[in-house]
Amino acid sequence: MLYTTSTVQEILDDPHGKMVLELHLPGLLDSPYLGMVMGMTLEQLAQHDSDRLRPQKLDAIDAALRAQTSSHDPRDKRTPVQPNIIFVLSDQHNPLIIGNHGDPFVRTPNLDRLTAEGTALDNCYCGSPLCVPSRSALLSGLLPHRTGIFTNFQALPSDQTTFVHALAIAGYDTVLAGRMHFVGPDQRHGFAERLVGDITPSTIGVGYDNYGVLRGTTGQNRVAATKSGPGRSAVLQYDEAVLAAACGYLEQRAETSKPLFMTVGFYGPHCPFVCPHDLFEHYYETLPHPEPLDDMRGALHPAVEKWLSNRGILDLDLDTIHRARAAYYGLIELMDQYVGRLRETIAATIGSENTLIIYSSDHGDMAGDKGMFWKSNMYEGSVRVPAIFHLPDAIPAGRRITGLTSLLDFGPTLIELAGAPALPLADGQSIWPQLTGDKEIDPDRVVLSMCGDLKGDLPSAMVRQGPWKLIDHHSYATPQLFNLEDDPHEQMDLGDSESHAEVKQALYQELNQVWDGAAVHEHVQRVAAYTNLRGQFNTKTGNRYPDDWRGDPEDNTVDDVNPA
């Protein structure tokens, strides 16, 4: 550690250090015994006040303080100075549905090769299993309780600095090709150039028809599952345009000494669950038929039962689940093809040897597990994400990091790699030393995720430490609790087990430092009221934002399924 041997006085002498201590040790600066501890190091303070400063908190303070200095240069002889960075960010990709991530049915040769030649994070979680809150957390490095963004109708404030701003300050050209689900007039948030606007409307209350006969299938509702199968949708139109724009930019980019940071934002494999005929037919025939719902679900927590009821899928039939799953798998294979074509273009243009390639997603999709689809819940298929890092010579090939990580780690990691200025606050931490193999993830690390959407569900939050994962559902007395080493499919809920009371208490002690379900619920209700007013204003005034992508509603089809 770099800072735990510093005294409290030394840390407070630095404005950033003072901010970190105020954040992680609330009340310390106003404490009557502050003067007594000014000469203590953080390690000594932890021994003096073990209740306030537990080992995990000590590590978090150390990481936050390290993030504030640029004196630590991570770049050694293995790492190119300021490599190009291509960040491929898909939407709603279940982390387990990749060939060499354990799925025996999906065909993903390009993601498999990227994993084999790079390092994968096997336990990477999003800050919120919903698009805008997750992406806002990713960009800002802050969990939703700090950003205040819990719904898809909110905007990251323009004065909220992102890690993309920091990379631009460090000399990077920052380019966004495609989706980032920005809401409101600011469609950049640190990106100096945008090649393709977003597929979802950026103006609240103003919609347009990209989906034709598939209208209504992008949301979390029964029709999104039932109207699925072989065909074509605006998602395919959009991703084809994004791929063409990204590859075209690389091919036309003039020679320059400036490094490139480009995010390639695809909408797939997000619903509609509609994919090309050949892919659908392959997966419809090869995927096993779903197990009976009672076998998949086990005993449902009442909050999960309400989740299913709110979306009209409590009694979803197995044939529909099978059909939607087949299309979802087809969309993942299509995404894999895009990754392959993008890698070919990178190799032919800016070069692979000096380019960090990252593949990830904003959250997962339940993909039929437990009879559920989409996101907005805390099961692994929804709240975990695929995460692959590839940089020749610097990042070891074929390595799997099983320690707990977060999408919120990506910003601090890229900031450290690029030698960019750190953001003032970060809930994530740089994992560059872990990616290069120089250090292991702290086995006691805690990761969090939060959800407070507007679909009739009450707020929920997840905390994971070691094998244990606790899910708190606001207003419900009993949480969900899983031991993911013993129960990776989350079928044995130990939430009401008296023999696990100490585990629950320890996890709640971590979660309750930042989570207040009642306050989030109240906040989300206010957000809904403000959203309604903004929608009325935009409708009344004709207010529009110019960047949105427009598709061809006639280029949407879905065909009946005729099993062979």
Q: What is the pLDDT of residues 405-426, one digit of tens each?
A: 999 999 999 999 999 999 999 9
Q: What is the pLDDT of residue 8?
A: 82
Task: Check: CB of residue 365 under 8 Å from CB of residue 93.
Answer: yes
User: Is omega for the bond preceding 288 within 30 degrees of 0, making it cis?
Assistant: no
Residue 460 Cα distances to 3, 144, 519, angstroms? 34, 12, 12
Q: What is the pLDDT of residue 50?
A: 62
Instruction: Answer left, alpha or beta for residue 66, where phi above 0 means left and psi between -120 and 50 means alpha.
Output: alpha
Task: Check: CB of residue 219 under 8 Å from CB of residue 200.
Answer: no
Flag whether pLDDT at 79 surpasses 70: no
Q: Where are the strands (E) in 238-354, listed by range?
A: 260-265, 274-275
Flag whether pLDDT at 564 surpasses 50: no
Within 10 Å of residue 13's Cβ, how many Cβ atoms? 11
Q: What does pTM read for this prediction?
A: 0.86
Q: Where are the strands (E) in 407-549, listed by range?
A: 446-451, 460-465, 468-473, 480-483
Sign of CA dihedral 266, 272, 274, 279: positive
Residue 546 phi/psi, 5-degree rounding, is -85, -10
Task: Check: CB of residue 463 under 8 Å from CB of residue 507.
Answer: yes
Q: Categorize the per-residue pLDDT at 184 as very low, low, confident or very high, splitting at 50, 70 and 90.
A: confident
Residue 179 Cα distances to 160, 253, 548, angstroms? 19, 21, 10
The C-alpha atoms of residue 521 and residue 356 are separated, in whole angstroms, by: 40
Q: How many residues does the chain have?
A: 564
**Lowest-confidence pick of 86-90, 169-173, 542-546:** 542-546
pLDDT, one tens digit per residue, over 111-164 is 999 999 999 999 999 999 999 999 999 999 999 999 999 999 999 999 999 999
Residue bearing the bigger pLDDT, 40 or 269? 269
Residue bearing the bigger pLDDT, 6 or 168? 168
Percent of the chain with pLDDT strictly greater than 70: 91
Flag whether pLDDT at 556 surpasses 50: yes
pLDDT, one tens digit per residue, over 4-25 is 677 888 888 776 677 677 766 7
Q: How many CA atoms lie within 13 A of 396 on its CB side?
A: 13
Flag whether pLDDT at 273 surpasses 50: yes
pLDDT, one tens digit per residue, over 207-227 is 778 899 999 999 999 999 999
DSSP string across 205-237: T----S-GGGTTTTSSSHHHHHS-EEEE-HHHH
Flag whether pLDDT at 39 surpasses 90: no
Q: What is the 3-state secondary structure (H, E, C) of 164-211?
A: HHHHHHCCCEEEEEECCCCCCCCCCCCCCEEEECCCCCCCCCCCCCCC
Q: Categorize the per-residue pLDDT at 563 as very low, low, confident or very high, splitting at 50, 70 and 90.
A: very low
Across the range 71-78, mean pLDDT stands at 49
Residue 470 identity: L
